[in-house]
Chain A
Amino acid sequence: MIETITLGLVVASVAILVVASLLALHRLATGPTGLDRGVASDVILAVLIAGICTHAIVTRTSAGLIIILVLSLVGFTSAVGLARLITGASARERRFLEAEARAAHEARQRVERERQEREAAQERADQAGEGETS
C-alpha cells in the first residue's frame, strides 16, 4: 500500500518535471534577449538535476549522483560566461561595424597598391631618363 503511494508520488513528480522543462524550453526558444535564454537554460539544468535524483530514487543506486555535482558547476560556469560575453551592441550594429572595418581595410590596401605602382612607374621613368641621357 505504501509502496504504491510512493510510486505514484514519484510518477507525479516526473510528470511535473517534464512540464517544467517544456515551459523553460518555450522561454529558451522565444525570449527576446540572450540573457532570457541563459535564465531558461539555468532552469532546465535544475530540472535535469531533479531528474537524475528521481532516477536515483527509483533505482535505489547512488551511481549517478556524482553527475549532479558536475552539472551544477558546469551550469554556474556557463551562466557566468554567458553574462560576461554579452555586450550591448545589437546584431545589426555589429554587422555594420564589421562591414565598415572591411571596407576601410580594402581601401587601405588599394591605396597602398596604387602607391607602389606609382613608385614603380616613377623608377622606370627615372631609369629610362637616365638611359637616354647616358
Chain B
Amino acid sequence: MNAVLDLLGAVLLLLGSVFCLAAAVGVVRFPDVLTRLHAATKPQVFGLVLILTGVALTLRTGHVAILAAFTVGLQILTAPVSGHMLARTAYRTDQWDDEHASIDELGEDLEAAGFTNIFEEEPGPPGNREPRS
C-alpha cells in the first residue's frame, strides 16, 4: 500500500513537471508578451497542484497536507493578480504585438470612453497638431 502511494506520488510529480516543461516551451516559442504570459501562468498553477498532491501522497503526514493545501490556495489567489498586473503594464506601455492581434476589445472600450492612446500620436512639435474631435 505504501509503495503504491509512493508510485502514485511519483507519477503526479512527473505529470506536474511535464506541465512546467509545457509552460517553459510556451514562454520560449510564443511571439508576444501577452501570449507568453498566458503560456506561463496557466500550466504553472495546475502543475503546482499536481506536484503538491504528489508530495502529500508520498509524505503521508497531516501537516504536509495542510501546508500543500495552503500553498495551492495561495498560488491560486496570487497567480491571476500577478498575471493581470504584467498584462496591464504590457498593454499600457504598448509593448505588445497589436498587429497580429485580431480583437482588441479593451482598446475599443477605451476609445468609446474618450481616452486617446498617447503612443499613437504623430510625432511633431506641439501646437501644430489639429485637436482631436
Residues of chain A having any CB pair with chain B under 8 Å = 2-3, 5-7, 9-10, 12-14, 16-17, 19-21, 23-24, 26-27, 33, 35-36, 38-40, 42-43, 46-47, 49-50, 53-54, 56-57, 60-62, 65-66, 68-69, 72-73, 75-76, 79-80, 82-84, 86-88
Contact = CB atoms under 8 A, between A and B. Distances in A.
Interface in B1-54: 3-4, 6-7, 9-11, 13-14, 16-18, 20-21, 23-25, 27-28, 33, 36-37, 40-41, 44, 47-48, 51-52, 54
Given A13-B13, A39-B27, A88-B94, A69 B67 contact: yes
B85 A84 contact: yes
B93 interface: yes
A23 B48 contact: no
A27 B17 contact: no
Interface string B69-112: 01100110011011001101110111100000000000000000
B28 A27 contact: yes
Nearest to A9: B10
B48 A21 contact: no
Contact of B25 (A3, A17, A23, A39): A23
Contacts of A82: 86
Contacts of A40: 27, 40
B20 A47 contact: yes
A3 B5 CA distance: 11
A47 to B, nearest CB: 6
A30 to B, nearest CB: 9
Say whether chain B's binding surface is mostly helix, strand, loop, or mixed: helix
Say whether chain A's binding surface is mostly helix, strand, loop, or mixed: helix
A121 to B, nearest CB: 40
9 contacts: A6-B10, A13-B10, A20-B17, A23-B28, A42-B44, A56-B58, A69-B67, A69-B71, A88-B94
Given A43-B23, A80-B82, A62 B28 contact: no
B82 A57 contact: no
A41 to B, nearest CB: 10
Give the 10 A-B CB pairs with smallest separation, nearest first.
Answer: A79-B82, A20-B24, A9-B10, A88-B93, A83-B85, A76-B78, A23-B24, A13-B17, A83-B89, A20-B21
Nearest to B82: A79
B86 A79 contact: yes
B17 A17 contact: yes
